[in-house]
Amino acid sequence: MAEFVLDPQLDRDSIWVTDLPLCSVRLINDMNYPWLILVPKVANISEVIELSEQQQHTLWRESALVSEVLTQLFTPDKLNLAALGNMVPQLHLHHIVRFKDDVSWPKPIWGQFPAKPYVESALNKRITIIQAAINKGA
């Protein structure tokens, strides 16, 4: 059985926050939007349907937890979920907090504005509050 390896692009674009039973939770390094991805720690998959039925249930439970945490912490106008995979085929599920006054509203975020990397103090604070909220809810 192949070992799970995080796609290099996901590794470059995101920072590890915590691990759940199935997924690695990672923060996209873009201050424009509070934005997490869930990456199932399963080797060589690109589609949800490639997960076992139990893994699919676990993915949706973990997605619901992350969605609840983001909603509680940031009170979004909209929480967008997406599993695109056009640029990075490794299965990952985006959870993007959107506000009516964010830089891309109401358009999709991709290709609108360059990523605005976190400064270290803001990054550490964001990761700490998200970790605490996920650990409380897990």
Taking residues 40-48, report their average pLDDT: 97
Q: What is the pTM of this model?
A: 0.96
- Using one digit for the tens of pLDDT, what is the confidence trace for 105-123? 999 999 899 999 999 999 9
- Between CA 138 and CA 136 the distance in angstroms is 6
138: pLDDT strictly greater than 80: no
- Between CA 29 and CA 48 the distance in angstroms is 24
Q: Helix 120-137 and helix 53-74: axis angle, to 10°?
A: 120
